[in-house]
DNA sequence: CCTTGTAATGATATCCATTATCATTATAAA
DNA sequence: TTTATAATGATAATGGATATCATTACAAGG
């Protein structure tokens, strides 16, 4: 049976921004939903190419921008010169932040202290709105440091700027 | 009297990484100390060029990487495709985070809730160290949203992806 | 003061992620 | 089916950042 997928329910979340729900869009969103990693455009391309060799890199970039603008995915800058993407669940079920190793670039998700953090964030958002008229839509928290491997290894990074 | 500056005291903080403290290094660090903004390499180039037309862009990039690696300045990615830099005071006196407008790209510093935030961060760092063997060296917190102008204006951004 | 090894610089070329262009294809509604 | 046009993909172009390498200039030892 050839590829024959149901349209993902999330598709409705971008209904007003989009006219046609296509195979590339379905495949890219699908991949991001399934993976735990933070993928770059090229990684997505590499992952989907075997399944759909006709999909070009341009489409990946365009689709990622569409999904990001629509709030379905999040664009992350970890400082290695390329943007990464992760799926953003509507229900905050996977609310987490990042732990980035400055040496090897590894990214860990962390999920502890959600409640306290959310209290703090909410409070901050209130103040910011009052003080600067800023409407908060999202926040990022990231910790930079050395992962276990790089701490013990003590080796130098080959990544420039790290 | 020609330019004749005292070497900035911070110079000692990178003593072991550096052999010579030069005019470009002094000027770049000096500029970052004085400004409240978050400058790109090109903005720094533009600002210093009138004073020192011989300074090339390459030196700016190299010096910024040196200062960043040494922990004197912080590299920030706001998502507009170019890295920005800010001076990082040793005494945490200016501890702050960023408020980024997704439409116009404006960046505000915010400094409220430092104590609670630091408590939370410290606690988190402890857990992360225990759980993942991660040694935290820095953290970033940023809020993304719409600034007052862009809220009321309701105009669309020309910045791709925003 | 000179000399000298070499760190630092700057012009240039290059790299690489991302965007723009535009002809072609394929979707969804009539 | 037909059709208007949204979406795609090959290609070229853009632009921030880095590599290369000959040149300059700093700092230590004479």
Report pLDDT digits (tens) over A68-83: 988 889 999 888 889 9
- Domain co-membership, A79 together with A135: no
CB atoms within 10 A of CB B9: 8
Chain B contact set for A113 (CB, 8 A): 120, 123-124, 127
Higher pLDDT, residue A96 or B157? A96
Residues B102 and B52 in one domain: no
Strand D positions within 7 A of protein Cβ atoms: 6-11, 15-20, 26-27
Tokens of A15: 């209904």
Is the CB of residue A47 less than 8 Å from the CB of residue A39? yes
B146 part of contact set with chain A, CB < 8 Å: yes
State which of B72, B92, B112 marks the end of a domain: B92
For residue A114, pLDDT beyond 50? yes
Which of A113, A147, A160 has its CB closest to that of B123? A113
Tell me what percent of the residues of chain A surpass a pLDDT of 70: 80
- Cβ–Cβ below 8 Å for B113 and A127: yes
- Do residues A123 and A45 both lie within one domain? no
**pLDDT for A62:** 96
Interface test with A, best of B75, B97, B135 (most A CBs within 10 A): B135
Neighbouring CB atoms inside 10 A of A74's CB total 17
Domain encompassing residue B36: 1-92
Distance B19 CA to C3 C1' (A): 20
CA distances for B41 relative to A69, B31, B60, B76, angstroms: 28, 12, 6, 12
Per-residue pLDDT tens over the stretch B11-31 = 555 655 677 889 999 999 999
∠ CA A150-B142-A60, nearest 5°, is 75
Asked whether residue A3 carries a pLDDT value surpassing 50, the answer given is no
**Which of the 8 DSSP states describes residue B156?**
P
Residues B81 and B113 in one domain: no
Q: What is the mean pLDDT of residues A135-147?
A: 86
At A153, the pLDDT band (50, 70, 90 cuts) reads: low
Decide if B113 is inside a domain: yes
Per-residue model confidence (pLDDT) at position B162: 37
Average pLDDT over residues B124-142: 88
Q: Which two tokens stand for residue A71?
A: 């709030």
Mean pLDDT of A109-123: 82
Strand partners, A101: A145
Q: Are residues B41 and B103 in the same domain?
A: no
CATH number (domain holding residue A47): 1.10.10.10
> How many domains is chain A partitioned into structurally?
2
Choose between A43 and A124: higher pLDDT: A43
Residues with CB under 7 A from strand D: A 18-20, 22-25, 54-59, 62-63, 81, 160-161; B 19-23, 40-42, 57-58, 61, 65, 81-83
B144/A141 Cβ within 8 A: no
Q: With 90 as the cut, is the pLDDT of residue A23 above it?
A: yes
Number of Cβ within 10 Å of residue A122's Cβ equals 10
B75 contacts A77? CB cut-off 8 A: no
User: What is the structure's pLDDT at A56?
Assistant: 96
Torsion, Cα A76 A77 A80 A83, to 10 degrees, reads 60
pLDDT (tens digit, 9 = 90+) per residue, B27-85? Answer: 999 999 999 899 999 999 999 999 999 999 999 999 999 999 888 899 998 888 899 99
Alpha carbon distance A115, A161 (integer Å): 34
Q: Is the pLDDT of residue A158 over 60?
A: no
Same domain, A88 and A101: no
Phi and psi at residue B66, in whole multiples of 5°? -60, -50
Tell me which of B92, B110, B133 is where a domain ends. B92
- Torsion sign (Cα): A148, A152, A153, A156: positive
> How far out from the chain centre does Cα B128 lie?
25
- Burial-class residue B90 by CB neighbours within 10 Å (0-12, 13-18, 19+): exposed
pLDDT of residue A124: 87
Look at residues A93, A121, A140 and tell me which one is the last residue of a structural domain. A93
pLDDT at B160: 33
Grade residue A2 by pLDDT with cuts at 50, 70 and 90: very low
The total of other beta-carbon atoms located within 10 Å of residue B101's CB is 24
Count CA atoms within 13 Å of residue A28 on its CB side.
31
With CA atoms as reference, report the closest residue to A70 among A92, A91, A88. Answer: A88
Specify if B145 maps to a domain: yes
Model confidence over B76-117: pLDDT tens digits? 988 888 999 999 876 666 778 889 887 777 888 888 777 888
Residues B75 and B128 in one domain: no
């Amino acid at each position: 049976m050839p590829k024959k997928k149901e349209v993902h329910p999330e598709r409705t979340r971008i209904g007003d921004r989009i006219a046609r729900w296509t195979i590339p869009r379905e495949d890219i969103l699908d991949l991001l939903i399934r993976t735990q990693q933070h993928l770059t455009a090229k990684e997505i391309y590499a992952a989907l190419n075997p399944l759909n060799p006709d999909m070009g890199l341009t489409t990946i970039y365009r689709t990622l921008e569409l999904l990001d603008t629509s709030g379905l995915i999040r664009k992350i800058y970890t400082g290695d010169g390329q943007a990464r993407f992760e799926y953003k669940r509507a229900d905050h079920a996977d609310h987490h932040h990042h732990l980035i190793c400055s040496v090897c670039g590894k990214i860990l998700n962390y999920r502890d202290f959600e409640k306290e953090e959310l209290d703090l964030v909410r409070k901050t958002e209130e103040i910011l709105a009052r003080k600067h008229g800023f409407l908060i839509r999202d926040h990022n928290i990231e910790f930079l440091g050395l992962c276990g491997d790089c701490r013990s290894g003590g080796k130098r990074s080959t990544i420039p700027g790290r």
